[in-house]
Amino acid sequence: MTSEPGNGPTDVDLAIVGAGPTGLYGAYYAGFRGLSTAVVDALTEPGGQVAAMYPEKLLYDIAAHPAVTGRELVDNLVRQAAPFEPRYLLGRTATTLVADGPRWMLGTDRGARIRAGAVLVAAGLGKVTPRTLPCAVPYEGRGVVYHVPRLEEHRGRDVVIVGGGDSAVDWALALAPIARSVTLVHRRAAFRAHEHSVRQLYAAPVRVLTDAQPVACHGAGRLASVDIRTEHGDTLNLPAHTLITALGFTTNLGPLAGWGMELAYRQILVDAAMRTSLPGVYAVGDGCTYPGRVPLISVGFGEAATAVNHAAVALRPGARLAPGHSSDTHPELVPA
C-alpha cells in the first residue's frame, strides 16, 4: 500500500499526518471533495492504535455498527477511501513542516517530502511508548508483547497478562477460550476495568492474582516462565509462552510540537473549523483540543469532515462549504 515517492516531492492538495481511523476518514472526505491526498504514518500498516493494539476487540460506539472489530473498521475505512486513490507513505514519521510559498512542505525521517496546499494533523497523541517491566525488557519480541494483534497466535499457549485496566481484562476474556492457560496479574486488589468486565473475568477460566507482580522472567532464547511475587511474599513460577504487559502508554507529540502550532496540555488548539494557529493547517482527533471536546472515534470522524470541508473552501475559493449529498456521487466512485 505504501507509495514510494520519486526524487522530487509528492504534490497534493492535502497532506494528512496519521493513518488512524480519523485520518483515513479524512482521506475519504478529501477525495469526495475532489482533493488529492497523501497520508503519512509511522506505522507500516494503516489503522493507527486501533489496528496495532485492538484489532480483535469489538467496538460498540461506531455509528451504524452495532459491533465492529478494530480490524474490520480500518479495512472498511481504507476501502471507503480507495476510489479516490490517496497516496500512502507508511513506515515514515513526519518530522518537519515549513512554508513553501503559499503551500506547505512536509518532510519525513526517510527523506520523503510532500508539498501540499493544506495539512491535516490526525496523529492522535503522537508517539506512543508502552510502559514495561524491567524483567520483561530482555524478552521483548521473544515472548513479551504489549498488545494482541491476532488472538489465534496464542492458541494452545500459556499466557500471563499484567495489568488492571480494560485492555488487560478484555484480552484475558478473549484469550481464555483459545489459550491453554491464562493468568491475569494485577498489583492492586481493585481493577480499573469496567465493573461488568471484571465480573465476567471472575466467572471465566482465568486465574486472577491480585496484590501481585512479576519479578523475574526465564527462558533460553524465548520466554518460558515468569516468577510472580504474591501478596504473602511467596514466589510462584508460572509457565508463560507469552507475557502481555498491559500497563498503559506514555505519549509524546515529538516533532509536531516544534511546528509552531499553539498547544495546550500537549494537545493542539483548534477553533470551530478545526484550524490550528498555522494558516492552512488543521488538527483533528485526540491530538487536538477545544472546549467541551469528547475523546471518541465518532467525534473524530465529525472533526475530519469539518476540517476537510473548510480546507476545500480555502483551497478552492468560491467552493461551497456544504459538500452536497454523497448519494449523488457517480456510482463508479462508490466501493462495492
Q: Does 327 show up as a binding residue in the annotation?
A: yes
Q: Are 84 and 31 in contact (CB under 8 A)?
A: yes
Q: Does 81 show up as a binding residue in the annotation?
A: no
Share of residues in the chain with pLDDT > 70 (%): 95
Q: Does 54 show up as a binding residue in the annotation?
A: yes
Whole-angstrom Cα distance, residue 126 to residue 121? 10
Q: Does 286 show up as a binding residue in the annotation?
A: yes
Q: Does 64 show up as a binding residue in the annotation?
A: no
Q: Are 280 and 1 in contact (CB under 8 A)?
A: no
Name the pLDDT band for 330 (thresholds 50, 70, 90).
low
- Whole-model pTM over 0.85: no
pLDDT at 56: 78
Q: Domains in the chain, ordered, with CATH?
A: 10-128+249-333 (3.50.50.60), 132-245 (3.50.50.60)
Cα pseudo-dihedral 323, 329, 333, 336, rounded to 10: 110
Q: Does 197 show up as a binding residue in the annotation?
A: no
Q: What is the CB neighbour count within 10 angstroms for residue 81?
A: 25
Q: Are 330 and 31 in contact (CB under 8 A)?
A: no
Whole-angstrom Cα distance, residue 62 to residue 60? 6
Nearest to 175 by CA among 196, 195, 191, 159: 159
Taking residues 70-80, what's their average pLDDT? Answer: 95
Name the pLDDT band for 336 (thresholds 50, 70, 90).
very low
